[in-house]
Amino acid sequence: MCRKRKVALGILALMIVFGQNVSEPVSAQATKQDEKKVAPGSGAAQNAPIEIEADQVYFSEESGEMYARGNVKIKQNQDTILTDYIQGNTQETRIWVDGSATITQPALNLTGNGIDYNYGARTGTIRNAAGTVYKDVSPAGDGQGRKQYISGQNIQLAPGYIVANDGTLTGCPAKIPDYHISAKKIEIWPNERIVAHDVTFWIKQTKVFKMRRYEKDLNEPESSFPRIGYQSDNGLYIKQHLEYGLTDNLSAFTNLAYYTKAYFKPDVGLKWRQPGYTTTLRAGEYYDGDYWIKKEPELKIALDRRRIGESPVSYTISALYGKWSEDTKESWHQDYGIYFSHDAIPLSSDQSLNLYLGTGFNHVRESYDDSTNNIYRYDATLRKSWSPRFSTWVAYHHVENNHSLFKYGSSSLLKAFDSGFSYQIDRLNKFSYSQRYDLDSQSLYDQDYTLSRNLHCWTMDVTYRAKREQWKLDVHTLHF
């Protein structure tokens, strides 16, 4: 067995120029001291060098042809391919595998039976592939994030873009998932959105419904699978979010909700997504956890989160205009807002203690009484992770001039102090406690106890709001 060696393709070309026999496999003595150099003009030099670990490596400087055999590992920055035998051409910056192979990138991990990949362009195809795509993955590519399980007869890769043809997608890891979608074509922009074409929704092995086109914003919490629950005020409920793509950027959506006490409370709308911002037109009845409001309709434009230069500060901007109705009041409501947030500020060497700061401004106008209100917000949160199972937090919130015409979406507290903790009891159960203290009246405003239960591919949250003597129960899909 040949000794395993590690080489960079750009270096191989350089070594061959200085006398390496191109008709022979590259020897293990391929100058380890030059390992980190890259030959000028090589395909690898245009980006980062390609590193190969294998039992045997062959390279022709004249044709660019290469192969590697036995425990092959190819790495470029954070991209890795693992297989037993690989062929390629360095002049075309292309490699291919006919057998089983695994490709790993910061936002995905896929295994298939055949790969054709251009490492210069970072584009390629994996046949008969299955694996994971990560949501909320960090820019550092540290593997953190919520998993989506994907499969496809072939999966195409490009920077920031994944396409699964004749594929499936789910947040459930079971061999026969509790829920999934299947589609002729599934397009994924990691951390942004999913668009599926000719899609079928499944619960276990039963078809629930079909759509010609389905679109989901990965930064929004709604799932197209039903969720059930209970609220003391509204009774038992069942909800479902449906979205139908009309064009590449325009979609129609509805949120269907039925409560045994509040009855049928649907809303409908249109959503127009453009690079950098989203425009939403919606109408219906909405609940903020305490109060109902009727919007008939409301138009909102929201800019995506943007960073200020290379600073640790980012901001969001939104503007909305619509007719709001609550109890006996009707008003054409305008709200223009901007909010600044600072990246987490680590206060400990192990980054287990972090400070989060934010501040914002809202300008609100009401036609009901011709009022104008300028609202200022200041927020500070301190979080401590004592262990992987136990964490605590405290927060201070200050609001100035919060004289809202409507109860919906507003808080009567001007100065609030929050605190709480979360404890992972075991693999399936988590308990959390949170409370809010009114600093103006020197009294406890809210006190909530929540038990979360992992139901394999679903999550059940049971909350008791002690100060209000209210119960809440919610069952929803896990990470979809």
Residues 381 and 277 in one domain: yes
Residues 168 and 86 in one domain: no
Residues 434 and 457 in one domain: yes
Q: What is the pLDDT of residue 142?
A: 39
One-character DSSP codes across 102-158: EEEETTEEEEEEEEEEETTTTEEEEEEEEEEEEES--TT--S-SEEEEEEEEEEEEE
Kindly report, residue by residue over 248-300, the tens digit of the pLDDT. Answer: 789 899 999 999 999 999 999 999 989 889 999 999 999 998 899 999 999 99
Please, which pLDDT band fits residue 478 given cuts at 50, 70 and 90? Answer: low
Residues 104 and 133 in one domain: yes
Kindly report, residue by residue over 148-202, the tens digit of the pLDDT. Answer: 899 999 999 998 899 999 999 988 887 888 888 999 999 998 877 888 999 998 8
**Nearest alpha-carbon partner for 161 in 186, 198, 129:** 186
Please identify, among 92, 118, 133, the residue that sits at the C-terminal boundary of a domain: 92
Mean pLDDT (the chain, rounded): 85
Length of the chain: 480
CB 196 within 8 A of CB 185: yes
> What is the rounded distance in angstroms from the CA atom of residue 460 to the CA atom of residue 171?
15
CB 5 within 8 A of CB 53: yes
At 106, list the tokens: 């910061």
Q: What is the CATH number of the domain that holds 417?
A: 2.40.160
C-alpha dist (Å) from residue 427 to 384, 388, 424: 21, 12, 7
Taking residues 45-71, what's their average pLDDT?
82
CB 355 within 8 A of CB 381: yes
Is residue 21 a part of any domain in this protein? yes
> What is the rounded distance in angstroms from the CA atom of residue 229 to the CA atom of residue 262?
13
Taking residues 203-212, what's their average pLDDT?
85
Q: What is the pLDDT of residue 20?
A: 37
Q: Burial of 370 by CB count in 10 Å (0-12 exposed, 13-18 middle, 19+ buried)? A: exposed
Kindly report whether the global pTM for this prediction surpasses the value 0.85: no
Residues 112 and 129 in one domain: yes
**Nearest alpha-carbon partner for 336 in 311, 309, 368, 361:** 361
Is residue 329 a part of any domain in this protein? yes
Sign of torsion over alpha carbons 155, 105, 248, 205:
positive
Residues 161 and 25 in one domain: no
Taking residues 39-44, what's their average pLDDT?
35
Q: What is the pLDDT of residue 91?
A: 86
Residues 193 and 323 in one domain: no
Is residue 225 a part of any domain in this protein? no
> What is the rounded distance in angstroms from the CA atom of residue 10 to the CA atom of residue 41?
9
Q: What is the pLDDT of residue 34?
A: 36
Is residue 228 a part of any domain in this protein? no
CB 391 within 8 A of CB 419: no
Please identify, among 42, 75, 92, the residue that sits at the C-terminal boundary of a domain: 92
Q: What is the pLDDT of residue 231?
A: 92
Domain count, the chain: 3
Kindly report, residue by residue over 386-419, the tens digit of the pLDDT. Answer: 999 999 999 999 999 888 899 898 887 899 999 9
Q: What is the pLDDT of residue 221?
A: 66
Per cent of the chain over pLDDT 70 is 86
Residues 249 and 377 in one domain: yes
Kindly report, residue by residue over 332-389, the tens digit of the pLDDT. Answer: 999 999 999 999 999 999 999 999 999 999 999 999 999 999 999 999 999 999 999 9
Q: What is the pLDDT of residue 102?
A: 94
Q: How many distinct helices (H) and strands (E) make up the chain?
A: 1, 33
φ, ψ (nearest 5 deg) of residue 443: -140, 155
Please, which pLDDT band fits residue 51 given cuts at 50, 70 and 90? Answer: confident
Is residue 352 a part of any domain in this protein? yes
Residues 213 and 359 in one domain: no
Q: What is the pLDDT of residue 209?
A: 82
Q: What is the pLDDT of residue 479?
A: 59
Q: What is the pLDDT of residue 145?
A: 54
Please identify, among 71, 92, 113, the residue that sits at the C-terminal boundary of a domain: 92
Q: What is the CATH number of the domain that holds 102?
A: 2.60.450.10
Please, which pLDDT band fits residue 140 given cuts at 50, 70 and 90? Answer: very low
Is residue 456 a part of any domain in this protein? yes
Residue 387's contacts (CB-CB under 8 Å, 6 or more residues apart) are none
Q: What is the pLDDT of residue 226?
A: 80
Is residue 230 a part of any domain in this protein? no
Is residue 261 a part of any domain in this protein? yes
Residues 213 and 248 in one domain: no
- The whole domain housing 151 covers 93-219
At 296, list the tokens: 């008939």
Residues 344 and 421 in one domain: yes
Residues 331 and 354 in one domain: yes
Please, which pLDDT band fits residue 13 given cuts at 50, 70 and 90? Answer: very low
pLDDT at 420 over 80: yes
